[in-house]
Amino acid sequence: MVAGYSEIAKDMQALKAHPNIDDYESQRENWNWDSIWAELDTPNGLINQAHECIDRHALGERAEKLAMIWQSASGEIENYTYADMKRETDKVANAFRSAGIEKADRVFFLSDRIPELYFGVFGALKLGAIAAPLFSAFGPEPIKERVQRAEGKVIVTTPKLLAKVNAVRDELPSLETVIVIDHREGTEVDDRDVAWSAIVPNASEEFTIEQTGAEDWSIMHFTSGTTGLPKGAAHVHNTVVSHYATGKYVLDFHDDDIYWCTADPGWVTGTSYGMFAPWSNGITQVIDEGGYSARRWYETITKHQVTVWYTAPTAIRLLMKAGTDVARSHDLSSLRYVMSVGEPLNPEGVVWGLEAFDLAIHDNWWQTETGAIMIANYPVMPIRPGSMGRPFPGIHAAIIDDEGNELTTPMIEGQLAVKPGWPSMFRTYWNDQERYDSRFKNGWYLTGDKAKRDEDGYFWFVGRDDDVINTAGHLVSPFEVESALIEHEAVAEAGVIGKPDDVAMEIVKAFVTLNDGFANTRELLRSLNNHCRTRLGPAVAPREIDVIDILPKTRSGKIMRRLLKARELGLPEGDTSTLEED
Ligand code: ATP
Ligand code: MG
């Protein structure tokens, strides 16, 4: 347990539903992926993510159930039932076929969160093509790099974003077709491009899904770029088995839930949990085109009566910064379950959920490469603030040493590893098989993260391999130092690095941003220093603390420590394609 935080017992009342996972130990013991497969609709052993997420509901009892409640940036609402989703995605699949898209073609999506983005991804999956969503905020370079690496044949975009594609299209020999979603903006589309309005509205409303098996390619996601050059992790249709299972048992989907995932599909969370997990479970989800603001988010929860909410630590820290009273001034009583992913969730954040929503926030861990949640806090299990929770049933996670041997002694630090073979495991890094192969050792998939496991099987995140600090012989977790810093009333966010030092090898250096109403004064720094020394001890407390205006983050909201370090040391910044610049 992190010092100062006690275990949070489960409040079954708050859950307002009998949890799908009600006995973790026995469900783990008796886990069988085949029985999950049997809950899906897999005629003749074929499986297609679009069929699992849309058609099987549209052709069954959920046809008239709402699948998507879309809220535009300006607040208009459009509702789509599962039957609507089937019709729209069938039309898109036919239209895409008429535009020359074939099985295994890489189809990129560069679009804001509008319904056509979702229709497009599923239309591509119905064809057996590989869907590759990008952040709409990407500039021309990141777009070029990714399309080049994956030899993308098609880009689907909107008039507003087209100029960024045009800026690099001469350098993209594989790119044959640009499809422009024109009808919402009512723009003329250049002759060399294909207008959505010319191919989709009149397309047939019936499409027979391409025969895809478990190992056929489905989706490609570029990693967040937190530690270096983003890698194109490619997944297969079998991945939906994990999406379905984790949606059911970690996100605890019940048929009447209204779910909201705040992640953009440019990040894997926005597809695995913003498309596939909720829809394979046949539930209703809210999709908001708009960006973050505390008020907008709370109003969205109230307006749509959101029950299950999946967000990220960066957002939680922003909401904390906005103040508990802002949360309390909204009626958020519809919420019953809140989760977070993407970075370690500071214990302060877990506990703040109780203050703001009467609900502890459930952290869980996974990666682009794992395709779905691997380690989680569950509705039935007490939360140990600062822990990522325990492995998903059916997942064997371990702490291993450098030789790939499992370390079974509790609280020993090592590499977090997962036993290969789970359904949503990535199958390659596109055009970089060597790097893919290097991620496996002695029968383990190496995650590149350092962690520990306690005597009860809870996993504790220590840091990225590259981020762990070695100061005078102590191994220091940046996460632990950051968590201590943000407990201080003045600190909104913190990023901690190891700064090379002749004597200590590295010293702990912290960068912090301040909450409103606090100024960068000598007294403040003294108070921060005192707080850290008391909380962490002098060996681990940061030797240097700088106050800065903003921390560099990826578009998925992760603190880029490698950039803090490069800037501190005056070194080249490396790949910054995912840096959030707003
Ligand atoms: P890149 O691989 O390009 O450096 P990335 O690793 O940030 O980027 P993602 O696949 O989006 O790309 O993120 C996965 C990583 O995020 C994990 O390996 C882990 O380091 C971190 N992470 C995600 N969730 C958690 C969590 N709950 N606790 C701690 N770390 C987390
Ligand atoms: Mg990674």
What is the Å distance from ligand 1's center to 49 Cα?
24
Question: Is the Cβ atom of 362 under 6 angstroms away from ligand 1?
Answer: no
Q: How many CB atoms are located within 10 Å of the residue 382 CB?
A: 14
- pLDDT digit string, tens, across residues 496-523: 999 999 999 999 999 999 999 999 999 9
- pLDDT digit string, tens, across residues 255-272: 999 999 999 999 999 999
What is the number of the ligand closest to the CA of 222? 1
d(CA 310, CA 263): 8
- pLDDT digit string, tens, across residues 215-231: 999 999 999 999 888 99
DSSP 410: T
What is the Å distance from ligand 2's center to 297 Cα?
28
What is the Å distance from ligand 1's center to 375 Cα?
12
Question: Which residues belong to CATH 3.30.300.30 in the chain?
Answer: 469-569
Residue 480: band (very low, low, confident or very high) from pLDDT cuts 50, 70, 90: very high
User: Which mutation among 267, 268, 368, 464 tests ligand 1's pocket best, with the greatest number of atoms within 8 A of CB?
Assistant: 368
Question: Which residues belong to CATH 3.40.50.12780 in the chain?
Answer: 12-23+38-450
Q: Residue 18: is its pLDDT beyond 90? A: yes
- DSSP characters over 143-198: HHHHHHHHT--EEEE-HHHHHHHHTTGGG-TT--EEEE--TTTT----TTSEEHHH
What is the Å distance from ligand 2's center to 223 Cα?
6
Question: Is the Cβ atom of 232 under 6 angstroms away from ligand 1?
Answer: no
Q: Is the dihedral of CA 534, 535, 536, 542 positive or negative?
A: negative
What is the Å distance from ligand 1's center to 448 Cα?
9
Is domain 12-23+38-450 given the CATH code 3.40.50.300 in the classification? no
d(CA 458, CA 15): 22
Which tokens in the block code for residue 467? 């981020």
Residue 100: band (very low, low, confident or very high) from pLDDT cuts 50, 70, 90: very high
Closest ligand 1 atom, CA of 227?
4
Q: What is the distance between the terminal CA atoms of the chain, rounded to a whole angstrom?
A: 37
Sequence-separated (6 or more) residues with CB below 8 Å from residue 366: 341, 372, 373, 374, 375
User: Which mutation among 558, 559, 578 tests ligand 1's pocket best, with the greatest number of atoms within 8 A of CB?
Assistant: 558
- pLDDT digit string, tens, across residues 167-188: 999 999 999 999 999 999 888 9
Question: Is the Cβ atom of 212 under 6 angstroms away from ligand 1?
Answer: no
Map 191-202 to HEC letters: CCCEEHHHHCCC
Q: Is 9 exposed, middle or buried (0-12, 13-18, 19+ CB in 10 A)?
A: exposed
Map 15-38 to HEC letters: HCCCCCCCCHHHHHHCCCHHHHHH
Closest-CA residue, ligand 1 atom 27, reads: 365
- pLDDT digit string, tens, across residues 410-427: 999 999 999 999 999 999
Which tokens in the block code for residue 577? 């394609």
What is the number of the ligand closest to the CA of 416? 1
Contact 429, 456 (CB under 8 A): no
Side-chain-side CA neighbours of residue 318 (13 Å): 17
Residue 516 CA, distance from chain mean position:
28
What is the Å distance from ligand 2's center to 366 Cα?
9
Mean pLDDT of the chain, nearest integer: 96
Least confident of 310-314, 414-418, 472-476: 472-476
What is the Å distance from ligand 2's center to 373 Cα?
14
Q: Residue 1: is its pLDDT beyond 80? A: no
Closest ligand 1 atom, CA of 364?
27
d(CA 180, CA 513): 40
User: Which mutation among 343, 364, 387, 392 tests ligand 1's pocket best, with the greatest number of atoms within 8 A of CB?
Assistant: 343
For domain 469-569, the CATH superfamily is ANL, C-terminal domain (3.30.300.30)
Closest-CA residue, ligand 1 atom 15, reads: 367
Closest-CA residue, ligand 1 atom 31, reads: 343
Question: Is the Cβ atom of 415 under 6 angstroms away from ligand 1?
Answer: no
- DSSP characters over 288-334: E-S---HHHHHHHHHHHT--EEEE-HHHHHHHHHH-HHHHHTS--TT
Question: Is the Cβ atom of 350 under 6 angstroms away from ligand 1?
Answer: no
